[in-house]
Amino acid sequence: MNGTLARAALVVWLLAAVACGAPASGGAAGGGSAQPAASGPAPTAADAPVLASLSGAERDRVAGLIQAARQEGELDWLDAVVVPATAVEMGEAFKARYGLPNLQINHERAQTAAVAARIQEEVKADRVTVDVFAVASPRLFYDLKAANALLQYESPEYAHYDSSKKAGLTYEPGYWMSPVAYTFAPITNPKFYPKEIHSWNDLVDPQLRGKFEFPDVGGGEAALYTYIGLRKVMPADYMAQVAALQPVTNTGSSVSGTQKLASGELWLSVTLPSRLVQTVAQTGVQMNAYYPQEGVTMLGHPYGILAKAPHPNAAKLFVDWLFGEEGQSMYTRLEGLSSGRDGLKVPDEVRAYSPPLAEIKSIPLDWKNLDPKTMEAARDEYRQIFKR
């Protein structure tokens, strides 16, 4: 099935699922399931430190969510980026901040396609087990919203993400926001290739023939979005020049690309600079990341809550924490992605590869109107040029 037909089929069965009983998106105080009645002692600043910084209606709102989350007892989190070790550390910090020591956090990491398939299958079957999910697939979010399968929730923390909006990351008021982003950009091993990269044109270097890696749109949506963005600033004949240098196919594994750079098998790779935070630390091999003057396609990693989330109150609190200063500081330090939170202090070892979004020239894409037909046309063009 081609991409256009597959997308059309997705929308049809999502809408059918709603017709069979999925609820319309709830308001900011609503949830996918009925909120449990508050019971037990009300949380205080002594056992839920977050309350010490709040007052009035916002303090009451958060205190009510904490009581309800204690009743729920669990949080199910599906993510295409955050690895288990990071999830454990972030989860403990979240529980400590909100006074939820007994909350069981069930985290699972899977590749982008697997996360999207899991969400679609659960919504279609009307058997939702996931509360919070994150995946760089804007089309999935828009399809879920159209099917009333997303919970409406506007976190107060979203107000601190002007940088994310200005960078053109996918955002739908009241439904989702992209707190972090990654991109495909040129990275080099200066031991083998000491030249600096200032422009995408610098990749057209005969010395790089067969010694560099370029994203293959067959590797996933991220590579396809990257190609669509590049074509906004670089002509088709530029792509033909790149293809003529016989780049190695990048299947979407940033780990593989950076490891090949470290060993010298490749001299340059157009892959995720954020991956260098871990690779350089692990290998001790110095590598350089470049953000070409024409710009890069920033791929937002949005977080959303499903309309039928079994633990909607815990999910709302987790989103608040994740988008807050503590959550974003941990996210950037542990995962190395660029944060869209305004004014966030980024460690030097991360900034060298993933500067804040405010410091990166982004190629904006119209995510909402990037329809299957447009995506399929870009995919076909790539295949014709690169013969893949």
Among 73, 131, 125, 141, residue whose Cα is nearest residue 107? 131
Looking at residue 29, its pLDDT comes to 41
Looking at residue 41, its pLDDT comes to 83
- Non-local (6+) Cβ contacts of 341 within 8 A are 160, 161, 163, 164, 179, 323, 325, 328
**Does the pLDDT value for residue 31 go beyond 50?**
no
Q: What is the pLDDT of residues 330-350, one digit of tens each?
A: 999 999 999 999 999 999 989
Q: Could you tell me the pLDDT band of residue 2, with boundaries at 50, 70 and 90?
A: very low
The four Cα atoms 117, 120, 124, 126 give a dihedral, to 10 degrees, of 100
Looking at residue 253, its pLDDT comes to 60
- Non-local (6+) Cβ contacts of 284 within 8 A are none
Looking at residue 22, its pLDDT comes to 41
Q: What is the pLDDT of residues 141-181, one digit of tens each?
A: 999 999 999 999 999 999 999 999 999 999 999 999 999 99
Portion of the chain with pLDDT greater than 70, in percent: 88
Question: CA-to-CA distance for 119 and 45, rounded, in angstroms?
Answer: 36
**Does the pLDDT value for residue 262 go beyond 90?**
no
Instruction: Tell me the domains of the chain and their CATH numbers.
Output: 3-178+301-355 (3.40.190.10), 184-297+366-386 (3.40.190.10)
> What strands, in cross-sheet order, belong to the sheet with 268-271?
248-250, 212-215, 268-271, 185-188, 288-289
Q: What does pLDDT average to over the chain?
A: 89
Three-class secondary structure of residue 2 per DSSP = coil
Looking at residue 249, its pLDDT comes to 75
Portion of the chain with pLDDT greater than 90, in percent: 74
Looking at residue 39, its pLDDT comes to 63
CA 210 and chain centroid, separation: 31
Dump the DSSP string for 258-317. HHHHHHTS-SEEEE-GGGHHHHHHHH----EE---TT-B--EE--EEEBTT-S-HHHHHH
Q: What is the pLDDT of residues 298-324, one digit of tens each?
A: 999 999 999 999 999 999 999 999 999
Looking at residue 337, its pLDDT comes to 92
Looking at residue 21, its pLDDT comes to 45
The highest-confidence range among 16-20, 181-185, 249-253, 272-276, by mean pLDDT, is 181-185
Looking at residue 101, its pLDDT comes to 97
Higher local confidence (pLDDT), 121 or 7? 121
Q: What is the pLDDT of residues 92-122, one digit of tens each?
A: 999 999 999 999 999 999 988 899 999 999 9
Which contiguous run of DSSP H or E holds residue 117? helix 112-125
Q: Provide mean pLDDT across the span 284-288.
A: 89
- Non-local (6+) Cβ contacts of 181 within 8 A are 164, 167, 169, 298, 299, 300, 301, 337, 338, 340, 357
pTM of the shown model: 0.86
The highest-confidence range among 14-28, 38-52, 308-322, by mean pLDDT, is 308-322
**Does the pLDDT value for residue 279 go beyond 90?**
no
For 89, list phi and psi in degrees, rounded to 5. -65, -45
For 87, list phi and psi in degrees, rounded to 5. -60, -40
CA angle 110, 114, 116 (to 5 degrees): 115
Q: Could you tell me the pLDDT band of residue 222, with boundaries at 50, 70 and 90?
A: confident
Q: Provide mean pLDDT across the span 66-72.
A: 97
* Residue 205: burial class (beta carbons within 10 Å; 0-12, 13-18, 19+): middle
On whether the CB atoms of residues 310 and 76 are closer than 8 A, the answer is yes
Q: Show the tokens assigned to 329.
A: 């500081």
